[in-house]
A and B are shown apart, each in its own frame.
Chain A
Amino acid sequence: MLDRRECVRTLLAERGELLVVSGLGAPTYDVAAAGDSPLNFYLWGAMGGAAMIGLGLALARPRARIAVITGDGEMLMGLGSLATIGVKQPQNLAILVLDNRHYGETGMQASHTHYGIDMIGIAKACRFRETHAISQEREFAGARRLLHAAPGPVFIQAQVRQEEVARVLPSRDGNEIKLRFLEAVAKLDKV
């Protein structure tokens, strides 16, 4: 089992121009803890919507690389979006699910993955081009390649320990997060 902070930090190291959408709760804190960036769009709500935000972004910016980093509970709420992504086959979209098999934010109740629901199987069935589960640090290098470079859609399930980690809180102002992101993306276009 992986340490979730180390996992996200390692996978986002030297991220370059990677655009990141983080699902509400612990994944937003994990992404912030890996280093705040204006290229992060942090969610604090809209549960179940992270993957679709990633799709809209991936379709709008086909030359950018998009990573959605979210939790098992958030992904479970938007399983239909995996089918929607499977239809569009965006090559530049990767989803990383930090799977602790629990709803950490609400008191560590077991999620469906705890009972053996197989998200990799679902992603495969939804025609994700790359699907990969990791549970050991030696698999980070392969996961990095998938997240940053493999033709998508990519689905990575990182099995992380079930533990509460100190919260690292980015801005909660949605307008601010949006404007900062838009400004940073506009700068990329100018370079």
Chain B
Amino acid sequence: MDQTVDQQATWPDAIHAQFRRARIRQVGYVPDAGHSRLIQRCIEDPDITDVVLTTEEEGVGLVAGATLGGERAALLMQSSGVGNCINMFSLIRSCGFPCLVLVTMRGEFAEFNPWQIPMGSITEDCFRLCGFLTYRIDHPDDVDEVVGAACDMAFAGNVPIAVLLSQRLIGRKVWSK
């Protein structure tokens, strides 16, 4: 079993509050330790439809469909999942859909698993190549403001944007048998 260190940190609640402020109605996610508290907040929120995905690129289609139906959506994923989305991101760019992705980073700070490093080290570049803006958060105090700004950029500025929640923010992963 591997577990995230700090499930008590409250910064995911600030993200959830920003989702509510931005009237986000659908949240697609792949189960992830770093996002687990936020996922739980979204599941508990009667105004948000949570959609558990089998793979991250499904979420890109979900965002497009939600937008076509007049709703706002957000995606939660781990950095390793970003690579899975690359061709599907063409949907966002070709049609000018707003897209907000929150990414828990792996492979960049105190990483114990070398297999996380190839994708973690190119996540931000991948987003840029796919036409996304990226914001990066290292400190819990910045979460509320930066995620709020990202929501505005996505849904008012109408640009695809990814918020990278750094591995330092999330906490080291502890490996236990």
- List residues of A whose CB falls within 8 A of some B CB: 19, 21, 41, 43-61, 64, 78, 80-81, 83-84, 87-88, 174-175, 177-178, 181-182, 185-186
Chain B nearest CB from A3 CB (Å) reads 29
Given contacts A54-B65, A60-B68, contact A80 B95 (CB under 8 A): no
Closest partner residue, chain A, to B96 (CB atom):
A175
Q: Are A55 and B51 in contact (CB under 8 A)?
A: yes
Q: Are A52 and B69 in contact (CB under 8 A)?
A: no
Given contacts A60-B70, A60-B71, A87-B52, contact A52 B94 (CB under 8 A): no
Alpha-carbon separation in the docked complex, A47 to B66 (Å): 18
Number of interchain pairs (Cβ within 8 Å) = 122
Alpha-carbon separation in the docked complex, A59 to B85 (Å): 21
Using Cβ atoms and an 8 Å threshold, which residues of chain A touch B95?
174-175, 177-178
Known: A46-B94, A55-B51. 13 other contacts (CB 8 A): A19-B68, A49-B61, A49-B88, A56-B68, A58-B69, A59-B26, A59-B49, A60-B68, A60-B69, A87-B51, A174-B91, A181-B68, A182-B70
Main DSSP-derived SS at the A contact region? helix
Question: What are 7 A-B residue pairs whose CB atoms fall within 8 Å in the complex?
Answer: A19-B68, A46-B90, A49-B88, A52-B62, A57-B68, A61-B69, A174-B91
Using Cβ atoms and an 8 Å threshold, which residues of chain B touch A181?
68
